[in-house]
Amino acid sequence: MREFASASARAATLPRAAKVLYTAFCAFVGLGIASCAGLYDGIVAFATRATPGELYARLIAHYQTGIATRALLEVTHAHLFVSLGISIGHSQTRTFV
């Protein structure tokens, strides 16, 4: 956070478009974390008085039911493309000092 607090920091000197892009990225990361919490809640069904053992038992029961081959292929396909995009983007970045 110190990088954003100072007016002379590298992040402060970025062009407006880069700041907007970074802000959008952070917003999507926040939405991704919230969706993970929502999906996890759908699996374990959080309750106010649920013990960790009960939550764990619900999680195990969810994964023991299995997943359809088609659904597994769709999820794997999406993750592979995202991973590929990140790795290609990361390999093309250069550090300027």
**Mind listing the pLDDT tens digit for each residue in 53-72?**
888 888 888 878 877 877 77
Instruction: Confirm whether pTM is higher than 0.85.
Output: no
Q: How far apart are CA 49 and CA 57, in angstroms?
A: 15
CB 30 within 8 A of CB 44: no
pLDDT digits (tens, 9 = 90+) for 25-37: 888 888 888 888 8
In the chain, what are the domain boundaries?
2-66
State residue 86's pLDDT score: 66
**Taking CA 95 as the corner, what is the angle to CA 89 and CA 97, rounded to the nearest 5 degrees?**
160
